[in-house]
Structure 1
């Protein structure tokens, strides 16, 4: 891609991602961005998502300290959350690449990487919207999170299907399930490392 994306092109790609994810994936892969640029973009998106997450924690009303939380206390540290998110994204890229390749997929790492980077752009927009909504309309914010989670699976399935050239959404969904199992192992190791880092910094 020889020039930057205009605002109109960004909106068009965003809408295409939401409603025609396979066409959006073809466009993203077709940009032919170098791997080095994409890895840098993944780092940047990890940092930006961690910043928005940290801000949303501070803006959210205080929670009952006795209530269970989904995120470990270590993730209240922006640095640790950034490192965990980046590690999780790297694991995601390689899990989708390797598992898909073992089942006949033809994606290159670069193909999967550009799609995951773009999904992180969407995640950043969603996090910012939720951070604002949760202050005024917490019920709407919760509904948005639920709907986006379900819709995100549909988008990711379309992305995987296009990247691996399957033309079989059911098979692509199966690749995601198998990749999640592989990611669980990697994430458990990463969580242990984050826990050790948190204790070391305490």
Structure 2
């Protein structure tokens, strides 16, 4: 009889039927949730770095692709970051962002297919959308805004929303959400550690 009792008492809580299984499952789901939350936070921080911090530091401009002219590489909704580039460093094959008309804020981002130099040293660029059959009208130097430095798929519409009328409201809301999320993660981690200490 004594050996039977000691055998029962030696079982771990995880092996003592439904209650132990429930605890184990809860622990597993907790760690899965923490992992997913940490991954989501890392993605958000990375996007904030690519969309806000890096362009600001480099003096670049984030823009949104709105048409299909540069598919499949740059479909609508893609965020592009346009970096100023000296005219003489722009080469054939670069995706160049330029004003439709000099002085007009509306811009297009198409690939440079030819560069022509005039006798006075100025250059004229011929561009074409990857998905277009015909080339664009010639682009003069004053129209050039820069070249596409890098792009982020699907984030362009978010950038458009932040640069629109809702920018003044959206940025504080996003900041509060991120700070609240970080505080929640920190608090839940501390409470979990305290519970584990108190559990025999």
- Larger relative contact order (Cα-Cα within 8 Å, sequence gap ≥ 6): 1
Which TM-score band (shorter chain)?
under 0.3
Quick check: which one's strand share is greater? Answer: 2
TM-score normalised per structure 2: 0.24
| Structure having the higher Rg | 2
Quick check: which one's helix share is greater? Answer: 1
